[in-house]
Amino acid sequence: MKIPLFKIYWDDEDISSVDTILKSGAFWSSGTQIKTFENNIAKYLGSKYCITFNSGGSALHALMLAHGLKPNDEVIVPSFTFIATCMAPKYVGSKPVFADIEEETFGLDPNSVLEKITPDTKAIIPVHYAGISCKIDELREIAEAKDLLLIEDAAEAFGAKYNNKFVGTYGDSSIFSFCQNKIFATGEGGCVVTDDEEVYNKLNLICSYGRISKENYFSSNCSVDYVDIGYNWRLPTILACLGISQLDKVEKLIKMRRKNAEYLNKNLNEIKGVKTINVENNNYAVYQLYSILLENTELRGELIQFLNKKEISSKIYFDPVHKYSVFKSANVNLPVTEDISSKILTLPMYPHMTIEEMDYVIDCIEEFFRSR
């Protein structure tokens, strides 16, 4: 594609950071740089604890375990999300309960969440779609009033803020993703941030086979103990080094994304048949994805094919999870989710997207609608 859906921003510092650990010939796993990366994330967000994982999905699974969710517990989730959000409760035998989304941020609708709460409800997992905060303050109020866990799926929203407070710091615990198309990237990877020391200690066991070891496992000759069931979900040192370098420029990356989104919004809003996402001033969006809504849903497939011919990538983020075969037994009515999912189309977005590239995308979309 002439213009792909995303490109990873990298520079010589990223190359150097990985080169250094490669040439060391040691500790490509469990190196000291992992703790440095975790500390840097915690400091940036203002959280007490951070622990990295090999993916955001692993991090969310680990949180189900660390917070003690059990079979038959109910966890309220959106259907308008990547499937990992809804799979996580199932991994521990809990039941994902789908609530509808609202039309402003495409996050969980607080009113729908209230309707879904039962005596078996134990947690709410809100998602911050495309790097835009959901109505997280209202959802936190519900969680506190109903004595429920609030676990933020902030995979797409590193650096986003709501009322000048970082997304990911509202919940009891939160996850972020460093997958290749995220705000900053390590290829694969993710983390949990929390202020709960007990949860943090559990996560340290879960991510490394339930092992207690005061020293580096690979360099120490001391005996270790395995005290609980755990998994091999550690982030490699090489990716942590890349993460340190990427995080150092995250403010620059966010500024570039926001500038591009502003340009696209201004120009795409002038095209009849296209609607952009209107983000309120108290919602500091980071635009991990850039999505538009089409007034005529029947034209979406044609537009995708038209853009393909113009060598412009586009993708539907997201189809409703409750429509997938693995969740069809849910049998729920989510009118807003299904409406938004039928209209949404994600366009190319990356920090170093040029004016010429954006103009080409805009011109092609304008050409398509003018021809209709």
Is 244 exposed, middle or buried, given 0-12, 13-18 or 19+ CB atoms closer than 10 A?
A: buried
The boundaries of the domain holding residue 266 are: 250-371
Q: Distance between CA 306 and CA 287 in Å, rounded?
A: 24
290 and 207, same structural domain? no
79: its two tokens: 């259907």
260 and 163, same structural domain? no
183: its two tokens: 């705000």
CATH number assigned to the domain comprising residue 147: 3.40.640.10
Please check whether residue 4 lies inside any domain of the structure. Answer: no
- Boundary (domain end) residue, out of 246, 277, 293: 246
pTM to 2 decimals?
0.96
The pLDDT tens digits of the residues spanning 8-51 come to 999 999 999 999 999 999 898 999 999 999 999 999 999 999 99
Whether the pLDDT of residue 309 is over 80: the answer is yes
Q: What is the mean pLDDT of the chain?
A: 96
Residue 232 main-chain phi, psi, to 5 deg: -95, 85
CB 193 within 8 A of CB 168: yes
Confidence label for 214 from pLDDT (cuts 50, 70 and 90): confident
Whether the pLDDT of residue 223 is over 90: the answer is no
CB 162 within 8 A of CB 283: yes
327 and 181, same structural domain? no
118 and 78, same structural domain? yes
* DSSP element (H, E) containing 98: strand 95-99
Identify the CA nearest to 23 among candidates 237, 215, 247. Answer: 237
Please check whether residue 154 lies inside any domain of the structure. Answer: yes
- What is residue 330's predicted lDDT score, i.e. its pLDDT? 78
233 and 297, same structural domain? no
Identify the CA nearest to 157 among candidates 338, 279, 312. Answer: 279
Please check whether residue 365 lies inside any domain of the structure. Answer: yes
Per residue, the 3-state secondary structure of 126-152, as one string, reads CECHHHCCCCHHHHHHHHHHHCCEEEE
21 and 94, same structural domain? yes
CATH number assigned to the domain comprising residue 309: 3.90.1150.10
The partner residues of 150 in beta bridges, in order of sequence, read 124
318: cis peptide before it, omega within 30°?
yes
Return left, alpha or beta for 106; rule: phi > 0 is left, psi -120 to 50 is alpha, else beta.
Answer: left
338 and 270, same structural domain? yes
169 and 270, same structural domain? no
> How many structural domains does the chain have?
2
The pLDDT tens digits of the residues spanning 62-120 come to 999 999 999 999 999 999 999 999 999 999 999 999 999 999 999 999 999 999 999 99
Distance between terminal CA atoms of the chain?
A: 24
Please check whether residue 171 lies inside any domain of the structure. Answer: yes
- What is residue 329's predicted lDDT score, i.e. its pLDDT? 79
Confidence label for 320 from pLDDT (cuts 50, 70 and 90): very high
- Boundary (domain end) residue, out of 223, 246, 269: 246
DSSP-derived secondary structure letter, 323: G
- Boundary (domain end) residue, out of 246, 278, 296: 246
Whether the pLDDT of residue 314 is over 80: the answer is yes
Q: Distance between CA 116 and CA 93 in Å, rounded?
A: 19
277 and 151, same structural domain? no
- What is residue 47's predicted lDDT score, i.e. its pLDDT? 98
DSSP-derived secondary structure letter, 187: B
CA dihedral 17, 23, 26, 32 (to 10 degrees): -20
Identify the CA nearest to 150 among candidates 160, 158, 141, 140. Answer: 140
3-state secondary structure of 261: helix
C-alpha distances (whole Å) from 154 to each of 146, 151, 170, 327 are 22, 9, 11, 22
Task: Over range 322-327, report the average pLDDT.
Answer: 95
Whether the pLDDT of residue 234 is over 80: the answer is yes
Confidence label for 217 from pLDDT (cuts 50, 70 and 90): confident
CB 231 within 8 A of CB 209: yes
Task: Over range 243-247, report the average pLDDT.
Answer: 98
**Amino acid identity, position 117:** I
Whether the pLDDT of residue 318 is over 90: the answer is yes
- List Cβ neighbours of 141 (8 Å cut-off, separation of 6 or more): none
The pLDDT tens digits of the residues spanning 251-307 come to 999 999 999 999 999 999 999 999 999 899 999 999 999 999 999 999 999 999 999
25 and 124, same structural domain? yes
Q: Distance between CA 365 and CA 129 in Å, rounded?
A: 23
